[in-house]
Amino acid sequence: MNLALTPYIQTPDAKSHPFDLLLAGAGEHPAVLAGHRFPANQLELIPLTPSGVLDFAALAGLLSRAAAAGRRVMLALQAVNNETGVIQPVAEAAQMVHGSGGIVVCDATQAAGRIPCGLGHLGADALIISAHKFGGPKGAGALCFASSSYHIKNALLRGGGQERGLRAGTENTAAIAGMAAALSAAKIRLAGQAGAHAIWRDEMEKEITRAIPDTVFFGTGAERVPNTSCFAVPSIEAELLLIALDIEGFAVSSGSACSSGKVKQSHVLRAMGAEAKLARGALRVSLGWNSRREDCLFFAEALKRTVKAIQARRDKSAA
């Protein structure tokens, strides 16, 4: 992401004017929200709807104002939100951005291996994936451009001619090969696994709702990847649930998996308009390639026991 988010991407239309406006969805990963090589005054956030989808009316307004001011736009939009699992309509956004002469950089880290996310499918100009998200080795990833006509003029790491001059340093060939093998395997199991995960996830959410009726699930008004569920139990803090569920043998997170161990209000849920107290109790649960239906049902039962125990202790303290 550090490499891709730069004003100095040379595009097939051969325009010499650098990009001078980075648009990003308000729920993007912190790696995107940092803006990287764009100055802070050249970054504008696009709000999300309550269901977690990019606000297209706001995007249209920003594109119109940018065109009137003669600004060149880059849109950073993730294919799948890393907290809620909401699938963003990247292809529709790309059509709007391309119509304004801009380009789209898509963070597909959460999408690879879970939904179809090729450059042609998404309509993006650049795509970013990370190997460990689909079973590959940690530390390997890829930045893919829609054609060889795209080029980054100011590489972050300079030196030799590795990676076509984009990133100096000897390539980790073993990790790259492992990433390719893992991606091939993920593609093979995609259809069957996605269908099973969707059924199990929905069944788990129904069981949780039956046992804890006031549970709030986020992003259910939009299309989600099948392996992710984000929810909160009103009046119970995420930290309490994280500790209790860890004792039960379940590794879950408050927010995205890469922020595991940190308990703070989610910027994604804030962008969706979630009430602050409720958002502070949000947990993210995700299924992996080796997850089973039984795991989902066991989790629902463990959550039921955990919430019941927490509520019982509070009632006893209040008595």
> Could you list the active site residues?
258
d(CA 188, CA 154): 37
Q: Residue 16 contacts by C-beta under 8 Å, 6 or more apart in sequence? A: none
Residue 48 DSSP code: B
152 and 166 Cβ atoms separated by less than 8 Å: yes
Alpha-carbon distance 131 to 146, whole Å? 19
Which residues have C-beta within 8 Å of that of residue 132, sequence separation ≥ 6? 138, 139, 140
Residues 254 and 314 sit within 8 Å (Cβ to Cβ): no
Q: How far apart are CA 43 and CA 261, in angstroms?
A: 29
User: In whole angstroms, what is the distance from residue 177 CA to residue 142 CA?
Assistant: 12
- 285 sits in which H/E element: strand 282-286
Q: Would you state the structure tokens that stand for residue 139, as one six-digit string?
A: 């530390």
Separation CA 183–CA 130 (nearest Å): 10
Q: 123 to each of 42, 59, 82, 251, 304, how far by Cα in Å?
A: 24, 17, 20, 35, 43
Are 122 and 114 contacting, i.e. CB atoms less than 8 angstroms apart?
Answer: no
